[in-house]
C-alpha cells in the first residue's frame, strides 16, 4: 500500500481529536488527500457499535465489550482504511489496536496479549506507520473532561485506578515499539505538540 497510516492514542481527555484536526489541516494545505476517521465508529456499522459500547445503559461483560470493538475494527479497516491506503491517501485515525490493548487488555484486565491477538486477526495484521501517543496524567485528563461538562461515556466514567492501568499500558506499548511511536507530553500547548507530530509525519512522507 502506498498511503500513510497514522494513529493517535492516549487516555480520555488527552487531546487526540485536537491533534488529529491540526494534522489533517496541515496535510490538506500541503496538497495531500487525507482520510480522518476514528474508532469505534468511522462507518455506519461502527457508529452503531460505538453507541452500544460507550453509551449502553445495560451491563456489558468485558469480553463482550472487547469483541464489539474488534468487530467494529474489522469492518472499519476492510471497508474504509485499507481502500484509502491503497489509493495512496494519508489516514489519520483516532484510536486503534493499542487502545483495545490498553483499555480492555489492561483496564479490564483481560490480558494485553489476548486482546492484541483478536484485533490483529480482525484487521489481518494491518499496523500503523506511526502512532502518536499523547501522554497525560489521568488526574489532569479528568479535570479536562470535567471542564467540558459533557456526559461521560462508559469508559470515561471508570475510576482512577482503571485509568492509571490504561496509561501505564500505553507507555509500556510505546517503550516496547519505539520505532513506531512518537510520545508527546499532553500538558504542552497544542501547537507545540502539533509541531512535533508534523516533523515526524513529514519525515515519513519524504
Residue listed under C-alpha cell 497510516: 5
Residue 84 grid coordinates: 484509502
Contacts of 206 (CB under 8 A, 6+ apart): none
| C-alpha to C-alpha distance for 81 and 97, rounded to whole angstroms | 14
Q: What is the pLDDT of residue 149?
A: 55
Identify the pLDDT of residue 155. Answer: 81
Q: Please give the Cα distance from 134 to 193 (Å, whole number).
A: 9
Q: What is the pLDDT of residue 144?
A: 80
In angstroms, the CA 32 to CA 90 distance is: 7
Report whether 166 contacts 11 (CB < 8 A).
yes
Is residue 97 classed exposed, middle or buried when 0-12, 13-18 and 19+ CB atoms within 10 A define those classes? buried
Q: What is the model's pLDDT at position 151?
A: 64
Listed in sequence order, the DSSP H helices in the chain are 16-29, 44-55, 62-76, 82-86, 97-100, 112-122, 138-148, 160-176, 190-205
CATH number, domain at 152? Answer: 3.40.50.300
Query: How many structural domains is the chain composed of?
Result: 1
Is 131 within 8 Å of 16 (Cβ atoms)?
no
Tell me the chain's radius of gyration from C-alpha atoms: 16
Cell for 96? 486503534
pLDDT tens per residue across all 206 residues of the chain: 699 999 999 998 899 999 999 999 999 999 999 999 999 999 999 999 999 988 888 899 999 999 999 999 999 999 999 999 999 999 999 999 999 999 999 999 999 999 999 999 999 999 999 999 999 998 887 788 776 656 677 787 788 899 999 999 999 999 999 999 999 999 999 999 999 999 999 999 98
Q: Alpha-carbon dihedral of residues 76, 80, 81, 83, nearest 10 degrees?
A: 140
Q: Residue 62's domain spans which residues?
A: 4-205
Q: What is the pLDDT of residue 93?
A: 98
The C-alpha cell 491503497 sits at 86
Q: Report pLDDT for 38.
A: 97
3-state secondary structure 112-139: HHHHHHHHHHHCCCCCCCEEEEEECCHH
Amino acid at each position: 500500500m502506498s498511503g500513510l497510516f497514522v494513529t493517535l492514542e492516549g487516555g480520555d481527555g488527552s487531546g487526540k481529536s485536537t491533534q488529529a484536526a491540526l494534522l489533517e489541516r496541515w496535510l490538506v494545505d500541503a496538497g495531500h488527500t487525507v482520510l480522518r476517521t476514528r474508532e469505534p465508529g468511522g462507518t455506519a456499522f461502527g457508529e452503531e457499535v460505538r453507541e452500544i459500547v460507550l453509551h449502553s445503559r445495560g451491563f456489558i461483560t468485558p469480553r463482550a465489550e472487547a469483541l464489539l470493538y474488534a468487530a467494529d475494527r474489522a469492518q472499519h479497516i476492510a471497508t474504509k482504511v485499507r481502500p484509502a491506503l491503497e489509493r495512496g491517501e494519508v489516514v489519520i485515525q483516532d484510536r486503534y489496536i493499542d487502545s483495545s490493548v490498553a483499555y480492555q487488555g489492561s483496564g479490564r484486565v483481560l490480558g494485553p496479549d489476548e486482546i492484541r491477538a483478536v484485533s490483529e486477526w480482525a484487521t489481518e495484521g494491518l499496523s500503523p506507520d506511526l502512532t502518536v501517543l499523547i501522554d497525560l496524567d489521568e488526574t489532569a485528563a479528568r479535570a479536562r473532561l470535567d471542564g467540558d461538562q459533557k456526559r461521560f461515556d462508559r469508559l470515561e466514567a471508570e475510576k482512577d485506578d482503571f485509568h492509571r492501568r490504561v496509561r501505564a499500558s500505553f507507555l509500556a506499548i510505546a517503550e516496547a515499539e519505539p520505532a513506531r511511536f512518537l510520545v508527546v507530553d499532553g500538558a504542552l500547548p497544542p501547537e507545540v505538540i502539533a509541531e512535533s507530530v508534523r516533523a515526524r509525519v513529514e519525515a515519513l512522507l519524504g
